[in-house]
Structure 1
Amino acid sequence: MNLESGFNHHLSAKKLRHNVEMYYNAEKIKPAGARFDGGKLAKRVHKSVAQLKRHDPDVQVSQEPTKFLLVSNSSILCEVSLEELEEIFLPLDEHAEFIVYPNKRSYSFVQCSSVESAIRIRDELHGLVPKALKTSHQPFIISFVDKTPEAKQCENFRPADLEIVEDYVSESLENELLALLMAHPNAQSLKHRAVAHFGHVFDYSTNSASEWKEAEPIPQVIEQIVDRLISDGYITERPDQVTVNVYEPGHGIPSHYDTHSAFEDPIVSISLLSDVVMEFKDGANSATIAPVLLKARSLCLIQGESRYRWKHGIVNRKYDVNPRTNRVEARKTRVSLTLRKIRRKPCECRWKEFCDWDRQGEMSVPASEDLARKLENSYVSDVYENIASHFDETRHSSWKAVKQFIDDIPRGSLMYDVGCGNGKYLIPKDGLHKIGCDMCMGLCEIAYRKDCHVARCDALALPFRDASADAAISIAVLHHIATLERRKRMIEEMLRVVKVGSLICVTVWSMDQSQSEYAKMRGNKDEVKTEEKTDRLRVHDGKNFEQQDVLVPWTISQKGETFLRYYHVFREGEAEHLIGNVAGCELVSVEKEQGNYIIIARKI
């Protein structure tokens, strides 16, 4: 399609030229060599400084010239390569050095050889679209800064049990392997890479390999590598499935686990031809990412926790940031050799929450009273005992709808708070008589120290007399109850202890979190996904809920500890259905607030 038809099939060339001129005149985008005027430039500088404060607060803009420059609109995110920066800046200072980011930053840093060079570069390029760049590019906005960011040695942090051995393969052996692999006649073409299999075929639909589906025999040169791996003590059994991947620059592989039940430990990976950065993501906290440099001819053993709890993958991009130097490096064609041993008995790893085998029902969505109680004890009660202090530090603000419900209760009334946590709704002196209760002894003690009236008890067996209160609330508790029958019993128990005509307020998490603050912080980029039907509990990855019954991580960063809490998140209409199936209960309203359903019901 030509340019004119891309805008409008009926747009004339004359009109198109006029629109382009108007666009440039509005100074949204400058052609190459053009420079912004003073007023526009000042606004751009202000925006540039604001971005710096957001991403690198330790670096300060300097009012006096320095040899350190902040250059906005110059990153790979803005489609400016390191080679282009070198082409633009090195003629002005042949010793200039660069700090460039592959994503999330619209700026780069340039360290000049002297203050005089930095002044000359800023005079030459500030507010200008360099001619080396495409004509639709934004101008460089350049400010002096007091320093460049300290290199964050990201690779000092690696997942536990991950082992990297550099120069494990000699250059001659690398050439021998490449000659063998490149001549393989049966390589498959996948979306992002070419692959070939030896021993047994890897099935990408199940992420496993069948011992009955054989591929070509493992070549002798790879068998010799296996002999050495055993001799060196890295593995104890011979791998019987080998996958060869050929990655062109820009190609990667999605973040994934090597299926627990499919292969034994470890997963062995050998890199050939080119370095690459592999990202490991904590399955219990997807925001925790460890970039690890895999150098050409290196051996990588993904084993233990690094295999069973952490996902690993390679981002689709043509550049990597070397985690040891923070320098952006262009990728080259890379070949990886992955060796696995097919597992022939159930996985017994200790990371059962991340395992695809449900341990004979232990990790299934509970279908019985006994299993539900066991799940709640392990993944609700025990967890809150461990996180009680940290929970208290993070829970202070009130939900607006809950506060309104409490404000509407006549003064002098008695209100129960079922699952009162740290007592945040019991503390306010608002003219109500309030008694709280919680299953967690640690939270009861915290609430008691705040002069709250509190008792330790099960929400399904409240220690209160029938019809003794004028209202009751239960905030963020019902979604920790593991079966429908037990959720009904909790509502029935709350109704039992309030008077006829009284109201109860219950809140639960919604499966649709698109309107929550967390979604807003992500920029609403994640679409709400259709629920995936499964009987297996899964660890929630911090994005959208893909199923109703999940284990949600609670991380205490200071201690490096992560605990998993059970949740049953509610679908749209589920709260109404639940209340409609409880005898003597009338639904008053269901409101949505920040990814929570606020349910108000009346005892009739």
Structure 2
Amino acid sequence: EKMSMKDERFCKPRLNATGGAGSTRFLYVAGVGAAIGSDMEKLKSFFESFGELDYSTGEAVDMVPDRRYVYIIYKDALSAEKAVHFITKDKSCDAAYLLEKVGASKVIPNYAIEKSSINTVAPAEVECTSSPRNMALQVPGCYILPDFITGEEEQLLLSELAGPEAPWRENLSRRVQHYGFAFNYRTLMLDYNKPAVPMPESCNSLIERFYPAFTAVTSSAEDSASTDSAPTSSNNESILPINQLTINEYLPGQGINSHTDTETCLGPEIFILNLESDIVMTLTKNEPADAPKDATSPPAPVRKLLHLPARSLLILSGDARFKWSHAITPRRSDKIDGAVVPRGRRVSLTFRQALKPGALPASELKPGELELDHVVRVYDNIAIHWNHTRGKRKVYWHRVKEYLDALPVGTLLADVGSGDGKYFGVNPGVVTIGCDRSLKLLEVSHCNEHETFCCDGAKVPLTSDTFDATLCIAVLHHLSTVDRRYAVLSELIRITKPYGTVMIQAWALEQDNQSKRIFESQDTMVPWRLSKRFLSEAQQAQLLGNTVASDGNSGEEEAPQGESAPLTDSVEEPATSAVDSTMDSGPCQHVTEDAGELVFQRYCHVYKEGELEQLCSSIPNCVVVESGWDKGNWFVQLRKVPDSRLEQLPSGPESKIPVLAPRKTV
């Protein structure tokens, strides 16, 4: 029986590690825990390296039963800060390092608090020290316009948008509404798959007042540097339209995590109208990506506390928009000008500029050493035997075969990640073009009836809107970052014709009783055992001496249904899809010998229920037709659809895709 959250000693975090609540000696760490079989001793050893753990009240690593998180208890807050800084900021703390040290390739730390400390009067250090008059001097690009609307206008907005009949979503810790485009709190992106809910007509006249007010306040700002935060241009043609609205209701004690709105799909200005109650907002300066990393002495966060009166308009632009994060600390009172002010119900209207997702940086599409060594080089070594144990057996994944059998005669099909060509010819009436990252797998799949070529899955050199159907099977679970998964999904949609379909399938975390494999965590290593009889002595010596063998002889290890080869390399320039073979030719670092066999370890990210659908929701111009579980795998069938909302939208800047949030609610 699962422990109720109310029985836990600590609170789940209300703010993340850079938020305004301040650090504590307690950490909430997502991504490890009893539910995924984390090793207690490994966790102790890792977190003890940052400072002394506190065993005075029991275990210093609180492994909550049946949960995917743990609480870490230090003797002082500085040790907790060191741990948070190292995990979130130090480049040496990559997926391979974490996988070795704690058994998970990604962990997310947050400060936690003991429940016994909740509901106390706000301490003096939360007193608001900022004012509307000098805020632009303290945080460039941040402006407050008091009394932006009248009391009568406020009541009209509340009655129409925040009354009992309003279409509130109740599945978060607070109630929300979305207009124009929905926002997905798991992906931290706009949800392009959901149908449009038109912007409220009552907001049109309000929106028309935003930019003139913005121009006026930036023109009169005392700080000349703040002119960089003025609207995109002084002429109206360059100003981006406000076409997305999120309404939040905050009751006393509720808040929101420290965050910077996603740059790749949301524009350069944010307008927040504060209704019904005053609030103190916390602004935290984001640490630059190129800042020196020192895990032993992390810099103190720079924070500003900002009083937002009821009926005021907050504008975040320039530095305040992109270099600072903002949060509402969850408490029942604020201290403003020395007086403790109880919180009341607050309704915020956040107006944004929706964008089409920007391009991914080419550097983020390059596989790291984890993926190169545990995916790319592995499949190049096991290609021949892979074909003998997979392709030649023609063991098809059930839903994939159903999908292929249903395609009409004459269908033009792209098989992205075709591997050894197992699905070529399943439906003889289909014309198939296959591509894969592994040239050796393509060599064993070659036949006269089908065209194949080697390319990068994040940049497929095929014409847009060309294929009636597109297939991508057992590829996504070999991609180690969200950026690369997103890039491959985007390419699948791009090359498919409007109203064409895409079938995607990948390994599932959830396995049934008939499965021969149980995954203890989402990021895992799957062994492939290779009998020495398939290799010469020289080839064995090369592999065991950390040198890639020159041929592809291999062995096998059982896995859910069947698999395809990875499609994981990337490109230097966005305009090309050429494979950089020099990235693959380095030594295979991890091969070991066991019981007369060579053992390769394949990296896999196995998907939990709903994760594939969440990823697809961030891809424009597609909808989910069907999704489900199929004998150890999750599948999603998409349809490419035009979206008139996107036709006039500019693209966002080049930016990374946010990592999926660890919890379903925030």
Larger Rg: 1
Greater RCO structure (CA 8 Å; 6+ sep): 2
Q: TM-score, normalised by structure 1?
A: 0.36
Q: TM-score, normalised by structure 2?
A: 0.33
